[in-house]
Amino acid sequence: MAPSPGPFRIDVFTLFPEVIDHYVDASILGRARVQGYLDIRTHDVRDAATGPHRSVDDAPFGGGAGMVLAPDPVFASVESVAASEEGMPRPLVLLTPSGRRFDQREAHRLADLEGGFSLLCGRYEGVDQRVADHLVDEELSVGDYVLAGGELAALVVVESVARLVPGVLGNERSADEESFSAGLLEYPQFTRPASFRGWEVPDVLRSGDHGRVEEWRRVQSLVRTLRLRPDLVEARGGLSDQEVRLLVEHDEVQLLRDHGYH
Protein backbone atom coordinates (compact mmCIF):
# COMPACT_ATOMS: atom_id res chain seq x y z
CA MET A 1 0.00 0.00 0.00
CA ALA A 2 1.23 3.49 -0.77
CA PRO A 3 2.26 5.38 2.35
CA SER A 4 -0.57 7.72 3.32
CA PRO A 5 0.50 11.35 3.28
CA GLY A 6 0.55 13.06 6.66
CA PRO A 7 -2.02 15.67 7.57
CA PHE A 8 -1.97 18.91 5.60
CA ARG A 9 -0.34 21.51 7.81
CA ILE A 10 -1.31 25.18 8.08
CA ASP A 11 0.22 27.40 10.78
CA VAL A 12 -1.57 30.65 11.62
CA PHE A 13 0.19 33.50 13.43
CA THR A 14 -2.38 35.81 14.99
CA LEU A 15 -3.31 37.96 17.98
CA PHE A 16 -6.62 36.05 18.14
CA PRO A 17 -5.81 32.32 17.98
CA GLU A 18 -9.12 31.49 19.67
CA VAL A 19 -11.03 33.03 16.76
CA ILE A 20 -9.27 30.71 14.31
CA ASP A 21 -9.55 27.63 16.57
CA HIS A 22 -13.24 28.18 17.34
CA TYR A 23 -14.18 28.55 13.70
CA VAL A 24 -12.11 25.56 12.61
CA ASP A 25 -13.47 23.33 15.37
CA ALA A 26 -17.10 24.39 14.85
CA SER A 27 -17.00 23.77 11.10
CA ILE A 28 -16.36 20.77 8.85
CA LEU A 29 -12.65 21.51 9.26
CA GLY A 30 -12.86 20.41 12.90
CA ARG A 31 -13.77 16.87 11.88
CA ALA A 32 -10.92 16.82 9.38
CA ARG A 33 -8.61 18.02 12.15
CA VAL A 34 -9.74 15.23 14.50
CA GLN A 35 -9.54 12.60 11.75
CA GLY A 36 -5.98 13.62 10.95
CA TYR A 37 -6.43 15.16 7.49
CA LEU A 38 -5.62 18.67 8.67
CA ASP A 39 -2.96 19.90 11.08
CA ILE A 40 -3.92 23.52 11.74
CA ARG A 41 -1.71 25.14 14.38
CA THR A 42 -2.37 28.59 15.78
CA HIS A 43 0.35 30.72 17.38
CA ASP A 44 -0.41 33.73 19.57
CA VAL A 45 1.93 36.53 18.50
CA ARG A 46 1.41 38.17 21.89
CA ASP A 47 3.17 35.21 23.53
CA ALA A 48 6.36 36.47 21.92
CA ALA A 49 5.92 40.05 23.14
CA THR A 50 8.37 41.22 25.76
CA GLY A 51 8.02 44.17 28.10
CA PRO A 52 5.78 44.71 31.11
CA HIS A 53 2.56 45.17 29.09
CA ARG A 54 3.32 42.61 26.39
CA SER A 55 2.31 45.23 23.89
CA VAL A 56 2.50 44.31 20.22
CA ASP A 57 1.78 47.65 18.56
CA ASP A 58 3.11 51.19 18.49
CA ALA A 59 2.42 54.58 16.91
CA PRO A 60 3.54 55.04 13.29
CA PHE A 61 6.78 56.91 12.58
CA GLY A 62 5.91 60.08 10.69
CA GLY A 63 2.60 60.40 12.49
CA GLY A 64 -0.91 59.43 11.47
CA ALA A 65 -3.89 57.62 12.89
CA GLY A 66 -3.88 54.18 14.41
CA MET A 67 -1.28 51.75 15.57
CA VAL A 68 1.19 49.59 13.70
CA LEU A 69 1.98 45.96 14.53
CA ALA A 70 5.60 46.07 15.70
CA PRO A 71 8.25 43.91 14.05
CA ASP A 72 9.77 42.46 17.21
CA PRO A 73 6.94 40.17 18.46
CA VAL A 74 6.11 39.07 14.91
CA PHE A 75 9.70 38.10 14.06
CA ALA A 76 10.14 36.47 17.49
CA SER A 77 6.94 34.42 17.17
CA VAL A 78 7.71 33.17 13.67
CA GLU A 79 11.37 32.48 14.43
CA SER A 80 10.60 30.48 17.57
CA VAL A 81 8.25 28.18 15.66
CA ALA A 82 10.68 27.94 12.75
CA ALA A 83 13.47 26.93 15.16
CA SER A 84 11.32 24.31 16.93
CA GLU A 85 11.77 20.61 16.24
CA GLU A 86 8.85 20.37 13.82
CA GLY A 87 9.73 23.67 12.15
CA MET A 88 7.35 25.95 10.31
CA PRO A 89 5.90 25.38 6.84
CA ARG A 90 6.79 27.94 4.20
CA PRO A 91 5.75 29.96 2.30
CA LEU A 92 4.72 32.34 5.04
CA VAL A 93 1.86 34.42 3.64
CA LEU A 94 0.93 37.84 5.05
CA LEU A 95 -2.79 38.66 4.81
CA THR A 96 -3.17 42.29 3.86
CA PRO A 97 -5.47 44.34 1.61
CA SER A 98 -2.39 45.32 -0.40
CA GLY A 99 -1.56 41.73 -1.32
CA ARG A 100 -2.17 39.88 -4.57
CA ARG A 101 -5.82 38.87 -4.93
CA PHE A 102 -6.66 35.41 -3.55
CA ASP A 103 -8.88 33.27 -5.79
CA GLN A 104 -9.66 29.61 -6.54
CA ARG A 105 -6.47 29.25 -8.58
CA GLU A 106 -4.45 30.47 -5.58
CA ALA A 107 -6.37 28.01 -3.38
CA HIS A 108 -5.32 25.14 -5.67
CA ARG A 109 -1.73 26.37 -5.67
CA LEU A 110 -1.58 26.41 -1.87
CA ALA A 111 -3.38 23.05 -1.58
CA ASP A 112 -0.71 21.51 -3.83
CA LEU A 113 2.12 22.52 -1.47
CA GLU A 114 3.19 19.22 0.05
CA GLY A 115 4.63 20.69 3.22
CA GLY A 116 1.68 23.03 3.80
CA PHE A 117 2.12 26.76 4.42
CA SER A 118 1.80 29.45 7.10
CA LEU A 119 -0.37 32.55 7.43
CA LEU A 120 0.34 35.78 9.27
CA CYS A 121 -2.66 37.94 10.19
CA GLY A 122 -2.14 41.69 10.13
CA ARG A 123 -3.87 43.97 12.66
CA TYR A 124 -4.25 47.61 13.56
CA GLU A 125 -3.57 50.08 10.76
CA GLY A 126 -0.87 47.92 9.33
CA VAL A 127 2.20 45.81 9.87
CA ASP A 128 5.74 47.21 10.08
CA GLN A 129 7.09 47.08 6.53
CA ARG A 130 10.17 45.15 7.64
CA VAL A 131 7.90 42.16 8.29
CA ALA A 132 6.75 42.26 4.66
CA ASP A 133 10.28 42.91 3.37
CA HIS A 134 12.30 40.44 5.41
CA LEU A 135 10.08 37.82 7.03
CA VAL A 136 7.18 36.82 4.81
CA ASP A 137 7.38 35.16 1.39
CA GLU A 138 4.27 36.63 -0.16
CA GLU A 139 1.21 38.80 0.51
CA LEU A 140 -2.40 37.93 -0.27
CA SER A 141 -5.65 39.89 -0.10
CA VAL A 142 -9.10 38.27 -0.04
CA GLY A 143 -10.76 41.22 -1.77
CA ASP A 144 -10.84 44.94 -2.37
CA TYR A 145 -12.15 45.97 1.03
CA VAL A 146 -10.46 46.58 4.36
CA LEU A 147 -11.06 44.29 7.32
CA ALA A 148 -9.99 45.23 10.85
CA GLY A 149 -7.53 42.37 10.80
CA GLY A 150 -6.33 39.37 8.88
CA GLU A 151 -8.20 36.69 10.86
CA LEU A 152 -11.29 36.53 8.64
CA ALA A 153 -9.03 36.60 5.60
CA ALA A 154 -6.96 33.75 7.05
CA LEU A 155 -10.12 31.70 7.61
CA VAL A 156 -11.17 32.33 4.02
CA VAL A 157 -7.82 30.97 2.84
CA VAL A 158 -7.79 28.06 5.33
CA GLU A 159 -11.29 26.88 4.43
CA SER A 160 -11.00 27.24 0.67
CA VAL A 161 -7.65 25.42 0.64
CA ALA A 162 -8.65 22.76 3.17
CA ARG A 163 -11.71 21.68 1.20
CA LEU A 164 -9.38 20.83 -1.69
CA VAL A 165 -7.26 18.54 0.52
CA PRO A 166 -8.21 14.88 -0.08
CA GLY A 167 -10.32 13.49 2.77
CA VAL A 168 -11.40 16.81 4.23
CA LEU A 169 -14.89 16.96 2.73
CA GLY A 170 -15.57 13.23 2.92
CA ASN A 171 -17.37 13.23 -0.43
CA GLU A 172 -14.60 13.72 -2.94
CA ARG A 173 -15.65 15.37 -6.18
CA SER A 174 -14.15 13.75 -9.21
CA ALA A 175 -11.47 15.72 -10.99
CA ASP A 176 -13.73 15.43 -14.03
CA GLU A 177 -16.51 17.37 -12.42
CA GLU A 178 -14.12 20.03 -11.20
CA SER A 179 -12.76 20.64 -14.66
CA PHE A 180 -16.23 20.40 -16.19
CA SER A 181 -17.37 23.43 -14.26
CA ALA A 182 -13.99 25.18 -14.17
CA GLY A 183 -14.30 28.90 -14.49
CA LEU A 184 -18.12 28.96 -14.46
CA LEU A 185 -20.66 29.68 -11.75
CA GLU A 186 -22.46 26.70 -10.25
CA TYR A 187 -25.81 25.54 -11.64
CA PRO A 188 -28.87 25.83 -9.34
CA GLN A 189 -29.46 23.01 -6.85
CA PHE A 190 -32.76 21.74 -5.44
CA THR A 191 -33.78 19.24 -2.80
CA ARG A 192 -37.12 17.96 -1.48
CA PRO A 193 -39.94 18.89 -1.51
CA ALA A 194 -40.44 18.90 -5.28
CA SER A 195 -43.14 21.53 -4.80
CA PHE A 196 -42.61 24.24 -2.17
CA ARG A 197 -45.19 27.01 -1.77
CA GLY A 198 -46.16 26.43 -5.36
CA TRP A 199 -42.60 26.74 -6.69
CA GLU A 200 -41.68 23.60 -8.61
CA VAL A 201 -38.35 21.92 -9.11
CA PRO A 202 -37.56 21.84 -12.87
CA ASP A 203 -39.00 18.64 -14.39
CA VAL A 204 -35.73 17.66 -16.02
CA LEU A 205 -34.10 17.14 -12.60
CA ARG A 206 -36.78 14.57 -11.75
CA SER A 207 -36.66 12.80 -15.11
CA GLY A 208 -33.94 10.34 -14.15
CA ASP A 209 -32.28 11.05 -17.52
CA HIS A 210 -28.68 11.74 -16.52
CA GLY A 211 -27.70 13.00 -19.95
CA ARG A 212 -30.47 15.59 -19.95
CA VAL A 213 -29.72 16.59 -16.36
CA GLU A 214 -26.07 17.13 -17.21
CA GLU A 215 -26.93 19.19 -20.28
CA TRP A 216 -29.44 21.33 -18.31
CA ARG A 217 -26.84 21.99 -15.63
CA ARG A 218 -24.25 22.95 -18.21
CA VAL A 219 -26.69 25.38 -19.83
CA GLN A 220 -27.63 26.86 -16.45
CA SER A 221 -23.95 27.38 -15.56
CA LEU A 222 -23.27 29.08 -18.87
CA VAL A 223 -26.40 31.28 -18.68
CA ARG A 224 -25.73 32.32 -15.08
CA THR A 225 -22.10 33.11 -15.76
CA LEU A 226 -22.88 35.12 -18.90
CA ARG A 227 -25.54 37.11 -17.04
CA LEU A 228 -23.81 37.65 -13.70
CA ARG A 229 -20.08 37.31 -14.37
CA PRO A 230 -19.30 37.87 -18.05
CA ASP A 231 -15.73 38.66 -16.95
CA LEU A 232 -15.32 34.97 -15.99
CA VAL A 233 -16.42 33.87 -19.46
CA GLU A 234 -13.91 36.30 -20.97
CA ALA A 235 -11.16 35.01 -18.66
CA ARG A 236 -11.60 31.46 -19.96
CA GLY A 237 -11.38 32.63 -23.54
CA GLY A 238 -15.08 33.08 -24.32
CA LEU A 239 -17.62 30.38 -25.28
CA SER A 240 -16.63 27.41 -27.41
CA ASP A 241 -18.53 26.74 -30.65
CA GLN A 242 -20.15 23.77 -28.94
CA GLU A 243 -21.30 25.95 -26.03
CA VAL A 244 -22.78 28.51 -28.43
CA ARG A 245 -24.66 25.70 -30.22
CA LEU A 246 -25.93 24.37 -26.90
CA LEU A 247 -27.25 27.81 -25.90
CA VAL A 248 -28.93 28.24 -29.28
CA GLU A 249 -30.64 24.85 -28.82
CA HIS A 250 -31.86 26.05 -25.42
CA ASP A 251 -33.39 29.28 -26.78
CA GLU A 252 -30.75 31.61 -25.38
CA VAL A 253 -30.15 33.43 -28.66
CA GLN A 254 -30.91 36.85 -27.16
CA LEU A 255 -28.46 36.30 -24.31
CA LEU A 256 -25.80 35.28 -26.84
CA ARG A 257 -26.48 38.43 -28.89
CA ASP A 258 -26.27 40.58 -25.77
CA HIS A 259 -22.76 39.25 -25.22
CA GLY A 260 -21.54 39.65 -28.79
CA TYR A 261 -22.11 36.11 -30.12
CA HIS A 262 -23.73 35.64 -33.57
Which chain residues interact with ligand ADE by CB under 6 A? 95-97, 122, 141-143, 145-147, 150, 153
Question: What sign does the CA torsion over 202, 255, 103, 155 have?
Answer: negative
Q: How far is the CB of 234 from ligand ADE (least distance, A)?
A: 24
Nearer to ligand ADE, 119 or 239 (CB): 119
Nearer to ligand ADE, 98 or 207 (CB): 98
Nearer to ligand ADE, 14 or 141 (CB): 141
Q: How far is the CB of 116 from ligand ADE (least distance, A)?
A: 19
Three-state DSSP at 38 gives strand
Nearer to ligand ADE, 37 or 117 (CB): 117
Helix, strand, coil percent content, the chain, rounded in steps of 5:
40, 15, 40
Burial class from Cβ neighbours inside 10 Å (0-12, 13-18, 19+) for residue 11 reads buried
Q: How far is the CB of 181 from ligand ADE (least distance, A)?
A: 26
Nearer to ligand ADE, 154 or 256 (CB): 154
Instruction: Give the residue nearest to ligand ADE (CB).
Output: 153
Q: How far is the CB of 93 from ligand ADE (least distance, A)?
A: 10
Report how far residue 117's alpha carbon sits from residue 160's, in angstroms, rounded to the nearest whole number.
Answer: 14
Three-state DSSP at 247 gives helix
Give the residues across from 138 on adjacent strands: 93
Q: How far is the CB of 85 from ligand ADE (least distance, A)?
A: 30
Q: How far is the CB of 140 from ligand ADE (least distance, A)?
A: 6
Give the residues across from 118 on adjacent strands: 11, 92
Report how far residue 62's alpha carbon sits from residue 40's, in angstroms, rounded to the nearest whole number.
Answer: 38
Nearer to ligand ADE, 70 or 233 (CB): 70
Nearer to ligand ADE, 45 or 223 (CB): 45
Give the residues across from 68 on adjacent strands: 58, 126
Question: What sign does the CA torsion over 88, 162, 180, 106 have?
Answer: negative
**Residue pair 200/166 in contact by the 8 Å Cβ criterion:** no
Q: How far is the CB of 174 from ligand ADE (least distance, A)?
A: 32
